[in-house]
Amino acid sequence: MARRPGIFGPAKEWPAQDLIAFSSEFDEGLVLAAYSEGVFPMPLHDSGFGQMGWWSPVQRGVLPLDALRVTRSLRKSARRYTTTVDTAFADVLSRCADPRRPHGWIDADIRRVYTSLHERGRVHSVETWDADGRLVGGLYGVSLGGLFAGESMFHDPVHGRDASKVALLALVERLSDEHAEERIVDVQWQTEHLSGLGAIEVEREEYLALLAEALAVPEPAWPRKETHA
């Protein structure tokens, strides 16, 4: 089935580069519409073009649920931690947005909009805790149907070895239900770290086809009771 053009126009007319648009407008409705079209926001700080960049990588990083590489050492690490979902979203977001992290991009607008989407049940966090009750790792992302668009993850370099990987393992386990084959975890760009965990690259057109299938399946069993479009 052909995709109908959305707010970003037909995908075949997008430029052959990762950045496909920019805007000064940025709100919850625009963000959700973008993800449903295979686009995600990332600020264009000091670019002179606009406040927000809208990206759809030509080579998209995705993690098939059955491709996650769980080593013996990761299984061992997982036994040292406890994971939760949506119990400390603000803390996970703050840790991911720590300005001391290299290549930081999570600004006040991102925090405002994604916090609002979390309150609406569209953004979720996975937290990793050590035996002393410290938050030592986690991740957050957008959930639409069978799509989980991972936004950022962190681990405590002192107390949280493998803690972000353990959060990812917990996420994949939650998504691995009867619709697992149609679900996708979007990781935006493949990195050496993500490649080691099983992420692969697919061309933009293939990603959009996978996305169409994913959006047609129900949400996974998140602990929040209500979700709103």
Distance CA 186, CA 167 (A): 15
Nearest to 206 by CA among 58, 45, 101, 83: 58
Check pLDDT > 70 for residue 229: no
What pLDDT digit, counting tens, does each position of 107-165 carry? 999 999 999 999 999 999 999 999 999 999 999 999 999 999 999 999 999 999 999 99
What pLDDT digit, counting tens, does each position of 19-34 carry? 999 998 999 999 999 9
Token couple for 56: 């759809």
Distance CA 174, CA 168 (A): 10
The reported pLDDT for the residue numbered 123 is: 98
At 200 the three-state DSSP class reads strand
Token couple for 88: 């400390």
The reported pLDDT for the residue numbered 98 is: 84
What pLDDT digit, counting tens, does each position of 169-222 carry? 999 999 999 999 999 999 999 988 888 899 999 999 999 999 999 999 999 999
Nearest to 155 by CA among 220, 70, 66, 80: 80
pTM of the model: 0.91
Lowest mean pLDDT among 43-52, 66-75, 188-197: 43-52
Token couple for 53: 């960049």
Contact between 28 and 57 under an 8 Å Cβ cutoff? The reply is no
Token couple for 148: 């989980």
The reported pLDDT for the residue numbered 173 is: 95
Residue by residue, DSSP assigns 178-209 as TTTTT-EEEEES--HHHHHHT-EEEEHHHHHH
The structural domains of the chain, ordered by start, are 12-57 (no CATH), 61-215 (3.40.630.70)
The reported pLDDT for the residue numbered 228 is: 38
Distance CA 128, CA 192 (A): 22
